[in-house]
Amino acid sequence: MSRDELLEFDEVVAAFDPVIGLEVHVELATLTKMFCACSTRFGAAPNSQVCPVCLGLPGSLPQVNGQAVESSIRIGLALGCSIATWCRFSRKNYFYPDMTKNYQVSQYDEPLCYDGSVEVDVDGELITVPIERAHMEEDAGKSVHVGSLTGRIEGAEYSLMDYNRGGVPLVEIVTKPVLGTGAGAPAVARAYVATLRDIVRALGVSDVRMEQGSLRCDANVSLMAKGTTTLGTRTETKNLNSLKSIEKAVRYEMCRQGAILAAGGRIKQETRHWHEDGSYTAAGRSKEEAEDYRYFPEPDLVPVAPSREWVEALRATIPAPPRERLAALREQWGFAEPEMRDVAAADAVDLVAATIAAGAAPQAARKWWMSELMRRANAAGLGLADLAITPAAVAQVQGLIDEGRLNDKVAREVIDAVLAGEGTPREIVDARGLAVILDTSALQAAVDAQIAGHPDVAERIRAGKTQAVGVLIGAVMKQLGGQADAASVRALILATLEG
Amino acid sequence: MECPVALTSTDVARLADLARIDLTVKELEQFAGELGVVLDAVAQVSAAARPDIVPTSHALNLTNVFRDDVVRPSMPLADVFAMAPAVEQDGDSTWFRVPRILGEAA
Amino acid sequence: MSSLTSLTAARLAALIRTGEVSSEEVTRAHLDQIAAVDDRVHAFLHVDTDRALEVARRVDAKRRAGAPLGPLAGVPVAVKDLFAYVGAPTTCGSRMLENWCPPYNAAVTERVLAADMVILGKTNLDEFAMGSSTETSAFGPTHNPWDLARVPGGSGGGSAAALAALEAPVALGSDTGGSIRQPAAVTGTVGIKPTYGGVSRYGAVAMASSLDQPGPCARTVLDAALLHQVIGGYDPRDATSIDAPVPDVVAAAQSPDVAGMKIGVVKEFGGEGFEPGVERRFHEAVAALAGAGAEIVEVSCPYFPLALGAYYLIMPSEVSSNMARFDAMRYGRRVGDDGTRSVEDVMRASRGAGFGAEVKRRIILGTYALSSGYYDAYYGSAQKVRTLIIQDFRAAFSTVDVLMSPSTPTTAIRIGEPLTDLMAGYKADLCTIPSNLAGIPAGSFPAGLSDNGLPVGVQVMAPVLADDRVYRVGSALEALLEPRFAPLTKEAR
């Protein structure tokens, strides 16, 4: 557990201006690795996807994956970056057992993409986050630590290395320092990463799944005393595995640094790790001196020099920014601002769009996802996209309602059956005999029976007190075991009494 | 450009640490002297490097050498581990086994 | 017929093709010669006897079956022990890789096998190719067949000595600052460094990637050209491989005609530090070319004297990074892993024990030259001097077809000869380094003996992708100058 002194958040932002910077690593969804033809498939047996190149065997040489370069340029363009006309790969030299060559092929002072910006919507307010660079590099392998209680590196007796991930293409996206966000800093950090994730996802170049590590984020935080202009000493927090943890970690670091500075102390420039279990950051094992990565141009590779034509052709493939797309969809679907914001916040835009594309009316699609399905997802601790139901199935349920074959109550039963894996909505309706009674003679018989059974109510309705019809509807529905469409029953009762 | 040309054995020890090589005290002293001689001899290189000269990292003038994104078979596991100093196996999973790690990744 | 081991590769190939001798006989003759002399020469680290004979028999069967045979089919070849060859150790002359057997073949290994050549074994070299004498090999020095008390040059001393001792007709080498040409010079053999990118580096254990270039070693110019033709050409696995046809080096090696050719003599390479006998042979060679109709002009390359210094910054920098993978985690000799020591300690101990002094020295120097605060002064400056060297060559080749210089300042030194200082040893590569920095092709050709009776080599340098010019001048020199043979080989011829 943390034993850090923390300053109240309100006091921090009263005395200091926070400065944040975010480094995001996106794993590209190419079929092969950055510098060799090994598969990048997730979840294979350890060390089953390695070759002389990514295992760093003597004499092996890297070959650049052209698709990875193209995806990197597209990310750069989507972030409004300039694309270098000529740039090189560099070697970043450091020893670590997850790096088979003990250098990482990366880019140093000549990034492929530079000087961009991202518009981030934070509770309706647009904030511009400036992008310093986006560059290409290779991922490292994964390690399992053995002999420590919690599988942590501290106290481990030894470690096991799996190099399947080694060499998978990464794009590292680095912001410039973001100033002036005040109390909004934690929310801005979170919203930036969420926006970046949406932009990259819309490009189709990465899964961008934080929980699988295909999007990883490090957050730099420092505080600047109000009224000064010199940046404070920053810390870099790693191991941020969700949007929520980014927000919480930035807030925590602000409060921790605020307490130190308020007490006249100094911030130590260090790497810290976010501990999700206790919601705190802790310093990594400190290094005796700053790392010296001894970057130099990678002599095994030739420069990348994207032509104007290539870049322009790729620019034509960049979809509208998610924010603009949202505005267009809102218009098209006729949603109110808050409705659209909720859909976006719930990561349901694509689900709703797909449901509409499968034939459902926009509002109906929205309601299914944002109420019934949201409730079930929350109860199961899942995201909407992880529910075992497809947008097509949701549209089919709505179609059955529109046909008058299901009422809302039965439809909910059908949804539960779909989630339980019993089949498509139509299959379930047929198998369970759940469809509402459409047979008019059967309905008429029930209506007649209940009118006869409630002569006083029938009389009141005939006298113009139509609100009393509810009693008869309830009675008919009860007789039919709920398998009728309430609106049809209502119409039939009124017609019978008038006739 | 100014270049320091004398290296102490402390300097060499720091470099050996960066390069992850155990050196004996004798090697430290010997290398400090020898590298000083080399650095002396290369001092003229720094002197000739005027600011207006474009550095050459590679004699070749090639650019944009790319590979298609097509998967090829990886190595058989037997080859992967044939030369490994230490491995650990658990069912279908095999890893390279390395001593406990003290430092931090970059 | 004279002894099979004294014949050229071209002649052996012709005899094998016509069925006058079998590849097995040729291979056996060379294996016998290795058995007879290699305890004195120590050119080989590994002799692949069984497989060599098996391959030879396969080539013979192929000939009997009437299959077409390539220009060097059935001819034995020795391979420098830094090219990966499945089924045999690739040690790079280092304890670190003492038992390392690669799971894949180098591009050049693949190509000699595809050409039906017979790999005799792996030849000795300075550890990871770092040296100019083959003395830094962890497995003991190679002895120069001209005088067993002397070095055969380096790093490819094993390949060069194997040729001079008639243990192999041709051999594979790699040249980073002169490792093919300098051994060729001091053993009286032919060694060519092709244009950078002309021969794939895939599977050649790297020393300094931007300078390394595999190439052919032989006793005659034509043999070198035939081997060059076999190993040269585009390979997509090496991103620095040139996608262009191999210059017609075989035709050039058969055209000893320099009439009308303009040959520049590098003014900067001579005088102080050069052995008088070396300079005399060089000037005689140039005079002979003039006599054959070449026009000789003196050319100044003012930045060449800086090449050695630039090389000793660029090369160790790349070395420091290329050697980092040898950490004993995935392969290589692990030292000190007693279950209690950290990975950092075990890496340090393994590298301390696995690398010899010269490798450590260069790693330390390169680590320094790249370290923050010194990069601009050292590595950055060296890259600028590299630009100046390229400009020197460009200017020279605008007026002459080829450049010439002695290959080395001196003849072979004695094994274990104490050096006045480290740089004195490094100066063996003084004349060969500029062409590595510029990526141009260059070759060393025998030019007779110095006053001490030891071989002298002269160097021919040509523009990028004009490798054929190197061979043309080389074949002229071969035709004009009297051939010399190492005393050790008298019994064999």
Strand partners, B87: B96
Contact residues on chain C for A101, CB-CB shorter than 8 A: 324-325
* C333 assigned to some structural domain: no
Chains sharing 3 or more CB pairs under 8 A with chain B: A, C
pLDDT value for B5: 59
Q: Whole-angstrom Cα distance, residue C119 to residue C103?
A: 17
Q: Both A21 and A148 in a single domain?
A: yes
Statement: residue A80 has pLDDT above 80: yes
pLDDT value for A466: 81
Contact yes or no for C386 and B56 at CB 8 A = yes
What are the pLDDT tens digits along chain B (106 aa)?
444 557 899 999 999 999 999 999 999 999 999 998 888 888 899 999 999 999 999 888 899 999 999 999 999 999 999 999 999 999 999 999 999 998 777 6
Residues 58-87 of B with CB under 8 A from C: 58-60, 62, 65, 67, 75, 79-80, 82-86
Question: Which of A55, A59, A63 is opposite residue C84, by nearest beta carbon?
Answer: A59
Q: Whole-angstrom Cα distance, residue C152 to residue C129?
A: 14
Q: Are C209 and C246 in contact (CB under 8 A)?
A: no
Q: How far off is chain B from A255, nearest CA to CA, in Å?
A: 25
Nearest to C406 by CA among C451, C452, C460: C460
* A4 assigned to some structural domain: no
Residues 339-398 of A with CB under 8 A from B: none
**Could you count the other beta carbons within 10 Å of the beta carbon of residue A155?**
11
Q: Please give the residue of chain A at the shortest CA–CA distance from B17.
A: A95
Q: Average pLDDT, stretch A76-95?
A: 97
Contact yes or no for B81 and A47 at CB 8 A = yes
Half-sphere exposure of C409 (CA within 13 A, CB side): 17
pLDDT value for B1: 43
Strand partners, C213: C175
**Could you count the other beta carbons within 10 Å of the beta carbon of residue C291?**
10
**Cα C237-B57-A27 angle, rounded to 5 deg:** 55
Contact yes or no for A97 and C329 at CB 8 A = yes
Q: What is the pLDDT of residues A44-67, one digit of tens each?
A: 999 999 999 999 999 999 999 999
Q: Both A264 and A335 in a single domain?
A: no
pLDDT value for C379: 94
Radius of gyration in angstroms for the set of CA atoms belonging to chain A, rounded to a whole number:
30
Q: Are C404 and C413 in contact (CB under 8 A)?
A: no
Alpha helices, H only, A225-345: 243-262, 308-315, 322-333, 337-345
CATH number, domain containing residue A454: 1.10.10
Q: Both A256 and A327 in a single domain?
A: no
Q: Please give the residue of chain B at the shortest CA–CA distance from A270.
A: B104
Q: Which of C22, C155, C200, C450 is catalytic?
A: C155
pLDDT value for C1: 40
Q: Which residues, 6 or more positions from C55, have their beta carbon under 8 angstroms from its beta carbon?
A: C23, C27, C113, C116, C118, C119
Contact residues on chain C for A105, CB-CB shorter than 8 A: none
Task: Determine the structural domain holding residue A20 and report its residue range.
Answer: 9-313
Structure tokens at C210: 């931007």
Contact residues on chain C for B82, CB-CB shorter than 8 A: 101, 103
Q: Whole-angstrom Cα distance, residue A91 to residue A107?
A: 7
Tell me which H or E stretch contains C311.
helix C307-322
* C164 assigned to some structural domain: yes
Q: Please give the residue of chain C at the shortest CA–CA distance from A63.
A: C239
Q: How far off is chain A from C100, nearest CA to CA, in Å?
A: 10
* A2 assigned to some structural domain: no
Q: Average pLDDT, stretch A79-99?
A: 97
Helix A185-203 / helix A322-333 crossing angle, nearest 10 deg:
80
pLDDT value for A135: 98
Q: Both A354 and A382 in a single domain?
A: yes
Domains annotated on chain B, with CATH: 9-48 (1.10.20)
Q: Whole-angstrom Cα distance, residue C457 to residue C442?
A: 12
Q: What is the pLDDT of residues C158-178, one digit of tens each?
A: 999 999 999 999 999 999 999
Q: Both A426 and A292 in a single domain?
A: no
Contact yes or no for A58 and C106 at CB 8 A = no
B96 in reach of chain C (CB within 8 A) = yes
Tell me which H or E stretch contains A394.
helix A391-402
The total domain count for chain C is: 1
Q: How confident is the model at residue A494 (pLDDT cuts 50, 70, 90)?
A: confident
Contact residues on chain C for B2, CB-CB shorter than 8 A: 377
Q: What is the pLDDT of residues C184-194, one digit of tens each?
A: 999 999 999 99
Q: Both A277 and A418 in a single domain?
A: no
Q: Are C436 and C468 in contact (CB under 8 A)?
A: no
Query: Strands, DSSP E only, in C371-411?
Result: 402-406
Q: Exposed, middle or buried by CB within 10 Å (0-12, 13-18, 19+), for A220?
A: buried
Task: Determine the structural domain holding residue C426 and report its residue range.
Answer: 4-268+279-300+397-492
Q: How far off is chain A from B33, nearest CA to CA, in Å?
A: 23
Q: How far off is chain C from B91, nearest CA to CA, in Å?
A: 20
Terminal alpha carbon distance of chain B: 31
Q: Average pLDDT, stretch C90-114?
A: 97
Structure tokens at C16: 């094998």
Tokens 């000083």 locate to: B36
B67 in reach of chain A (CB within 8 A) = yes
State the pairing for strand pair A158-162/B93-99: antiparallel
Contact residues on chain A for B75, CB-CB shorter than 8 A: 50-52, 55
Residue from B2, B12, B17, B22 to probe the interface with C (highest C Cβ count within 10 Å)? B22
Q: Whole-angstrom Cα distance, residue C229 to residue C223?
A: 10
pLDDT value for A499: 67
Answer with the one of A262, A285, A313 that is the final residue of a domain. Answer: A313
Q: Whole-angstrom Cα distance, residue C467 to residue C232?
A: 11
Average per-residue pLDDT in chain A? 91
A109 in reach of chain C (CB within 8 A) = no
Q: Are C190 and C218 in contact (CB under 8 A)?
A: yes
Q: Are A75 and A319 in contact (CB under 8 A)?
A: no
Q: pTM for the whole thing?
A: 0.89
Q: Both A493 and A416 in a single domain?
A: no
Q: Please give the residue of chain B at the shortest CA–CA distance from A102.
A: B19
Q: Exposed e or buried b for every residue in C167-197, given b needs 16+ CB within 10 A?
A: bbbbbbbbbbbbbbbbbbbbbbbbbbbbbbb
Q: Whole-angstrom Cα distance, residue A259 to residue A5?
A: 6
Q: Both A194 and A336 in a single domain?
A: no
Answer with the one of A387, A412, A432 that is the final residue of a domain. Answer: A432
Q: How confident is the model at residue C483 (pLDDT cuts 50, 70, 90)?
A: confident
Nearest to A50 by CA among A72, A69, A74, A32: A32
Q: Exposed, middle or buried by CB within 10 Å (0-12, 13-18, 19+), for A497?
A: middle
Q: How far off is chain B from C126, nearest CA to CA, in Å?
A: 19
Question: Which of A59, A292, A294 is opposite residue C205, by nearest beta carbon?
Answer: A59
Statement: residue C492 has pLDDT above 80: no
* C343 assigned to some structural domain: no
Question: Which of A52, A63, A101 is opposite residue C104, by nearest beta carbon?
Answer: A52
Average per-residue pLDDT in chain C? 96
Chains sharing 3 or more CB pairs under 8 A with chain A: B, C
What is the percent of chain C with per-residue pLDDT over 90, rounded to a whole number?
94
* C305 assigned to some structural domain: no
Active site residue C490: no
Tokens 């301390």 locate to: C352
Residue B36 sits at φ, ψ, to 5 deg, of -60, -40
Q: Both A459 and A478 in a single domain?
A: yes
Integer angstrom CA distances of residue A114 from A130, A134, A173, A194: 10, 6, 9, 20
Strand partners, C80: C123
Active site residue C210: no
Q: Which of C174, C179, C317, C435 is catalytic?
A: C179
Tell me which H or E stretch contains C119.
strand C118-123
Residue A261 sits at φ, ψ, to 5 deg, of -65, -40
Q: Whole-angstrom Cα distance, residue A298 to residue A34?
A: 14
Q: Whole-angstrom Cα distance, residue C421 to residue A462?
A: 120
Least confident stretch, A58-67, A384-393, A439-448 = A439-448
List strands edge to edge, sheet with A82-83.
A82-83, A113-122, A125-138, A169-175, A16-27, A215-225, A235-240, A271-275, A280-283
Rounded to an integer, what is the distance from CA A417 to the centroid of its chain? 27
What sign does the dihedral A140-A142-A148-A149 (CA atoms) show?
positive
Residue from C91, C205, C321, C322 to probe the interface with A (highest A Cβ count within 10 Å)? C321
Structure tokens at C124: 């000795």
Q: Both A459 and A404 in a single domain?
A: no
Q: Average pLDDT, stretch A132-137?
A: 98
Q: Please give the residue of chain C at the shortest CA–CA distance from B16.
A: C364
State the pairing for strand pair C455-461/B93-99: unpaired
The total domain count for chain A is: 3
CATH number, domain containing residue C283: 3.90.1300.10
Residue C355 sits at φ, ψ, to 5 deg, of -100, 145
DSSP symbols for A50-118: --TTTTT-TT----EEHHHHHHHHHHHHHTT-EE-SSB--EEEE---TT-TTSEEEE--SS-SEEEEEE
Q: Average pLDDT, stretch C144-163?
A: 97
* C454 assigned to some structural domain: yes
Active site residue C371: no
Q: How far off is chain A from C28, nearest CA to CA, in Å?
A: 31
Q: How confident is the model at residue A422 (pLDDT cuts 50, 70, 90)?
A: confident
Q: Both A181 and A40 in a single domain?
A: yes
Q: How confident is the model at residue A411 (pLDDT cuts 50, 70, 90)?
A: confident
Q: What is the pLDDT of residues A159-214, one digit of tens each?
A: 999 999 999 999 999 999 999 999 999 999 999 999 999 999 999 999 999 988 99
Q: Both A236 and A176 in a single domain?
A: yes
pLDDT value for A437: 65
Size of interface A-C (CB pairs under 8 A): 98
* C334 assigned to some structural domain: no
